[in-house]
Amino acid sequence: MSAKRVLVTGGAGFIGSAVVRHLLADSEAEVLNLDALTYAANLLSLQDIADDPRYQFRRADICDAEAMQAAFADFRPDCVLHLAAESHVDRSLTGPQAFVQTNVVGTAVLLDAARNYWEQLPESEQQSFRFLHVSTDEVFGSLGDEGAFTPTTPYDPSSPYSASKAGSDHLVRAWGRSFGLPTLITNCSNNYGPRQFPEKLIPLMILNGLEGIELPVYGKGDNVRDWLYVDDHARAIWQVACGGKVGETYLVGGGAERDNLTVVKTLCALLDELAPSADIGPREGLIRFVTDRPGHDFRYAIDASATTESLGWTPQESFESGLRQTVQWYLDHQEWVEAVRTGSYRNWMEKNYAWR
Ligand code: NAD
Ligand code: TYD
C-alpha cells in the first residue's frame, strides 16, 4: 500500500518537517501539511520545498472540529500521519493544560473528523485508509539499568507530557477497535537532527555552547536516552504507514543509548573542533550541574527488533556521524537560529499567512 494523498499534522515542527521532506523526496504522494503554527513551528524549515506542486500548507488547530472536517473534505486524504502535539516535557511541568488540550482533546477531535470522513468512503477506500499516530517511548515510563521497551510493555507515564501522549495512544486504539478506523501507532525514542527547536537537550547545548553560555545538565547527567536521527525516524513512519498491520504498535529506536553527560561532552568536543573560540575556551568548562527535573525518567531504551523483522526498517545513521552533521547544520544555518531566537520568523509568518 502506498498512499497518494497524505495529511501530515504538525508538519511545521521538527519531525513533521522531516516527514514532509521525506514524502516529497521519496514518494509520489501529494502532501497537506496541517499545522497551527505554535511557538515550536517554523515554516523556514520548509521554505525550500514550499513551492513544490505536490505540497500544500493549511494553518489550523487540531482542536477545531470544523476546521478538521473542512480539511478532510477539501483534501480527501487516504492517509493521516498525526504528529501535531505539545512536545516538551519541561513545558508540561509548568503548563500541563496545553498538553491535555492539544494532545488529548485535539487527537480526539482529529480522530472524529477522520472517522466521519472515512465512514463516507467506498469500501475499498475504507480498507486502504490509514491513520498513523506518532507517539513516544515515554508512555512506558522509566527503565532501570537493564532491559528495553517492547510493543507489549505496560503504560506507566511520569510527566504530564507522557501522560497526555499515553491518553492519545489509548484514544487512537479505541477509535480503531470501536469504530473500525484503520489505525497504527509508532512509539519512538528521543529524536535529534537539524531543525529541532532549541529547548530540547541537543540543540540547546549546541546553541549555548556556540554563545559561550552555561550548559545546564540536570542532576548528575546520568539519565540515559536512546537517540534516533530524525531522517531515520521519518523513513520508519512512512514504512509503517505503507506496510504496517492495522491495529499494531511499532517501536522505533536509534540503538544509540548514551547518558546525558556523555552527549553534552561529545557536543563540547565537536563545537571545539568545528567552531573553536579562544574567548570561550574548551566548552566542557561551561557545563553546570543544575537541580534535577521533577519526575525525571532515568532511562529509555527501545527494542525495535519486531519493527525490523516485520518491515525491514533499521536506523542508518550512527550517533557520532548524526551528531556531527547536526552540529554542522546549526553552524551553517545561523539565519534559522537567529529567526527562532528573536521570534522574527513568527512575525514573518503572521504577515505571510494571515490570509489563510
Ligand atoms: P515539535 O514541538 O517540534 O512540533 C510540533 C508541531 O505541532 C509544531 O509545528 C506545532 O505548531 C504543531 N502543533 C502543536 N499544537 C497544535 C495544534 N493544536 N494543532 C495543530 N498543530 C499543532 O514536535 P516534534 O519534536 O516534531 O514531535 C512531533 C511528534 O513526535 C509529537 O507528537 C511528539 O510527541 C512525537 N515525538 C517526538 C519525539 C522527539 O524526540 N522530538 C520523540 C518521540 C515522539
Ligand atoms: P529533552 O531533550 O527535554 O527530551 P526528553 O525529556 O523528552 O527525554 O531531554 C533529554 C534529556 O536531557 C533528559 O534526560 C533531560 C536532560 N536535559 C538536561 O540535562 N538539560 C537540559 O537543559 C535539557 C533541556 C534536558
Question: What are the tens digits of pLDDT across the range 170-184?
Answer: 999 999 999 999 999
Ligand 1 pocket test: pick from 45, 46, 83 the residue with the most ligand atoms within 8 Å of its Cβ: 83
Grid coordinates 503548563 are at which residue? 95
Report, as ranges of residue numbers, the positions in the chain whose pLDDT lies below 70. 1, 344-356
Residue 278 in any domain: the answer is: no
Residues with CB under 6 A from ligand 1: 9-10, 12-16, 35-38, 40-41, 61-63, 83-87, 102, 106, 134, 136, 165, 188, 190-191, 197
Residue 272 in any domain: the answer is: no
Q: Residue 208: what pLDDT?
A: 96
User: Is 199 tagged catalytic?
Assistant: no
Residue pair 310/258 in contact (Cβ under 8 Å)? The answer is no
Ligand 1 pocket test: pick from 15, 59, 162 the residue with the most ligand atoms within 8 Å of its Cβ: 15
Domain of residue 35 covers 5-191+229-253+301-317+344-353
Q: Where do the DSSP E strands lie in the chain?
A: 5-9, 30-35, 55-59, 79-82, 130-136, 183-188, 191-192, 215-218, 224-226, 228-229, 249-252, 257-259, 287-290
Q: Which of 161, 192, 229, 300 is catalytic?
A: 161
Residue 249 in any domain: the answer is: yes
Ligand 1 pocket test: pick from 22, 32, 38, 345 the residue with the most ligand atoms within 8 Å of its Cβ: 38
User: Is 161 tagged catalytic?
Assistant: yes
Q: What is the pTM of this model?
A: 0.97
- CATH number for the domain including 186? 3.40.50.720
Specify the amino acid at residue 127.
Answer: Q
Cα–Cα dist 294/94, whole Å? 11
Give the residue whose CA is nearest to atom 20 of ligand 2: 217
CB-CB neighbours of 41 under 10 Å: 25
Residue pair 67/60 in contact (Cβ under 8 Å)? The answer is yes
Residue 154 in any domain: the answer is: yes
Residue 39 in any domain: the answer is: yes
> Kind and range of the H or E element at 346?
helix 344-353
- Among the atoms of ligand 1, which is closest to the Cα of residue 191? 40
Residue 118 in any domain: the answer is: yes
- Total count of domains within the chain: 1
Cα–Cα dist 251/138, whole Å? 12
User: Is 297 tagged catalytic?
Assistant: no
Cα–Cα dist 123/186, whole Å? 26
Q: Residue 2: what pLDDT?
A: 74
Give the residue whose CA is nearest to atom 9 of ligand 2: 201
Residue 323 in any domain: the answer is: no
Residue 295 in any domain: the answer is: no
Cα–Cα dist 112/122, whole Å? 18
